[in-house]
Amino acid sequence: MIPSELENYLQSLIPEREPVLLEMEQYAKEHNVPIMELIGMEALLQFIRLIQPKAILEIGTAIGYSSIRMAKAVQDVSVVTIERDEERYQRALYYIDKANMSDQIEVILGDALEVSIEQTFDVIFIDAAKGQYTKFFEKYEKLLGKNGVIISDNVLFKGLVAVNNTDNKRIKSLVKKIQGYNEWLMQNSLYDTTILPIGDGIAISKQKG
């Protein structure tokens, strides 16, 4: 949510990624797979480095790009990630193996609202079906360890949450759901939440107390 000139400048400062990540970025572009924008990704990784989690849960694997980046950001961190699309699941397994990260990343095939997980996580990263964010949050917050953090991507949805001036009924409905999620987050008395206009909008929700 920053001016294009500034976005281009910041992207020019980002260090070159390793070949497997560049390959994934190209694949995502060619096949319209949603992965985090570079500036948003760099911000997420810095949060991860500051938190120094031992275990991360990701809701929405896609092709495994964020999982790999997060797993590489902190030494000895384990990542559990959920993906419901079979093709993307298989592609994620391929790239995770190619990046030599199979020992750190476990990919679960299934609907995140139906999957059962019994583990505690320091960070939960939500980046899946935008209209289901509140349900994802409520389902998985019980797995959050003490002082845990929940990070939600795409909460500004290309700026439409501020104006919602689209004529597309599906998009308009989705924007309303994201607006509702943002308001619910900010009013949730159990968390301190900040929404940052980075990438497509990142919400950082930290447990209180």
Annotated binding residues for Mg(2+): 127, 153-154
**Residue 96 contacts residue 68 (beta carbons within 8 Å):** yes
**Bridge partner list, 108:** 82
Q: Tell me the DSSP string of 4-22.
A: HHHHHHHHHHSPPPPHHHH
- Annotated binding-site members: 36, 66, 83, 111-112, 127, 153-154
How far is C-alpha 133 from the chain's CA centre? Answer: 11
- Annotated binding-site members for S-adenosyl-L-methionine: 36, 66, 83, 111-112, 127
How far is C-alpha 203 from the chain's CA centre? Answer: 10
The number of beta carbons lying within 10 Å of the beta carbon of residue 107 is 20
Rounded to 5 degrees, what are φ and ψ at 56? -125, 135
